Amino acid sequence: MESALEPSFFNGEVPVTLKYTDREDRRATITAAAGGMARQRVLNLQLTDEADAYLLYSLHLSEDDFHALKTEQSLLVDFATFPGKLVELLRQCQACAAEEQPRFVAELSVGDSAASSSAGKPPTLERWRAEGESFQAELSESRSAHREAESRAAALAAQLHESRLATREATHRLEGAEQEAALLREQTAELRRENSGLAAANHALEKAAGASRIEVAALSASTADKDALVAKTSSLLEAAADARRYEWGRGIATRLV
């Protein structure tokens, strides 16, 4: 079980039922953060809702306050073990969230929000109640409007700070993306220039290849003409040789007669 006074011993989302006197109850998932300071012996509990910036409840329970609360509500645990019991209850509520009829249910009674707002007083945390088969506890805490306003202002300031940090981080990422995009554009332009040069060189090579093909065709035609002339000359020479052999043979035959 968690130590009773660790700086932060619970931080998570807990399903709750918000109970109003001027409108219907509603289900919500709030963020519960519990912690404490060992030297001061104080239990801190804060409830917030990301969907509703105005939903903020803070409980600062000292050991003396707890003794009064223990007597008032007949609690069966002491201050040292109470934070662990509270965390156990919160986790039971988390574990039962998906059940149709959960065995552990957390409720926040926030009173008449409309009346509080019209009177200039924000809603206060009246009761935190969770019921189960083996554990039940009720906490009541009322605060002045000034203290409530200070808590809300601090929470909103923290949210604003986180938003600014997120915006700054997003701006840095955007600047990095823009620089990368500019580099890619430069590389694309360089590749286009290289591609244009390659296209010109390819065109020149194709032109030279065309001229070479024409020259080869002309040489082939000239070679064919020469081959035909050689063949014709050889034929004529062979015919002349045959005629001479015939005349020579005929002359010999005449002398013999």
DSSP string, 98-151: T-SS-SSEEEEEEE-HHHHHHTT------EEEEE-SS-EEEE-----HHHHHHH
Residue 53: give its domain's CATH number: 2.170.210.20
Per-residue pLDDT at 181 = 92
- Look at residue 24 and tell me whether its pLDDT is greater than 70: yes
Residue 153 lies in a domain: no
Among candidates 43, 30, 40, which has minimal Cα distance to 3?
43
DSSP string, 85-111: HHHHHHHHHHHTTT-SS-SSEEEEEEE
Q: Which of 68-72, 150-154, 161-165, 206-210 has the lowest mean pLDDT?
A: 150-154
**What b/e readout covers 114-130, taking b as 16+ CB neighbours within 10 angstroms?**
eebeeeeebbbbbebbb
pLDDT > 90 fraction of the chain, expressed in percent and rounded: 9
In a domain, 101, yes or no: yes
Would you say residue 179 has pLDDT above 90? yes
Residue 160 lies in a domain: no
Euclidean distance between CA atoms 37 and 4, whole angstroms: 9
Whether residue 74 lies inside any domain: the answer is yes
Q: Using the predicted structure, report yes or no on whether residue 106 has a pLDDT greater than 90.
A: no
Domain hosting 65: range is 10-143
Give the count of alpha carbons within 13 A of 85, CB side only: 16
**pTM of this prediction?**
0.47
Sheet holding 105-111, edge to edge: 52-62, 42-49, 26-37, 10-20, 105-111, 127-131, 136-139
| Top-ranked range on mean pLDDT: pick from 41-45, 131-135, 215-219 | 215-219
Kindly state whether residue 187 falls inside one of the protein's structural domains: no
Report long-range pairs for 50-56 (Cβ below 8 Å, ≥24 apart): 52/28, 53/155, 53/156, 53/159, 54/122, 54/152, 55/28, 55/30, 56/151, 56/152, 56/155
Q: Is residue 72 part of a domain?
A: yes
Residue 27 · residue 57 · CB < 8 Å? no
In a domain, 50, yes or no: yes
Is the predicted pLDDT of residue 220 greater than 70, yes or no?
Answer: yes
Domain presence at residue 216: no
| Count of the separate structural domains present in the chain | 1
| Mean pLDDT, all residues of the chain | 76
Mean pLDDT of 176-197: 91
